[in-house]
Amino acid sequence: MIQIGIFLDLILPIVPPPRMHTLDFQCLLAGIVLCGFATGLYIGARLGKGPRDGMMIAISETTNWPTRRVRTLIELSVLLAGWLMGGAVGIGTIFFTFGIGPATQWGLQLFGFSATGTEEPRSLLKAA
């Protein structure tokens, strides 16, 4: 968390905020896709899972639900908890809550995991 904060403090003065709402939306969607890709990348490379990722995979394997459903339900519970504690809920929060599940499932499948988070043959990454 400290490293993320330091990095953001260093990069925010360099990267200007988008001036148009369409660019805001494009950056939001790109960020959601990038988060899903990155999740698939570090889980697929066996670099460990964070608490949400571990819970997502465990629930997905136990219930046989797709990871997109489980991740969306986890994010909904976090959204609700944050809102109940007085946090702000904006349109970006809503888009992230409902977009990160499908993006995460896509990232996991891209790097060799099935829709339920279990490892499957890495045919997608083999040389053609």
Domain ranges for the chain: 20-110
Structure tokens at 21: 């709402």
Q: Which helix (H) or strand (E) holds 30?
A: helix 21-44
Rounded to whole angstroms, how far apart are CA atoms 112 and 41?
9
For CA atoms 107, 108, 112, 115, give the dihedral sign.
Answer: negative
Query: Does the pLDDT of residue 13 top 50, yes or no?
Result: yes
Rounded to whole angstroms, how far apart are CA atoms 58 and 38?
19
Confidence of residue 16 (pLDDT cuts 50, 70, 90): confident
Query: Does the pLDDT of residue 121 top 80, yes or no?
Result: no
DSSP structural state of residue 88: -
> Whole-model pTM?
0.76
**In 3D, which of 99, 94, 104, 98 has the Cα closest to residue 60?**
104
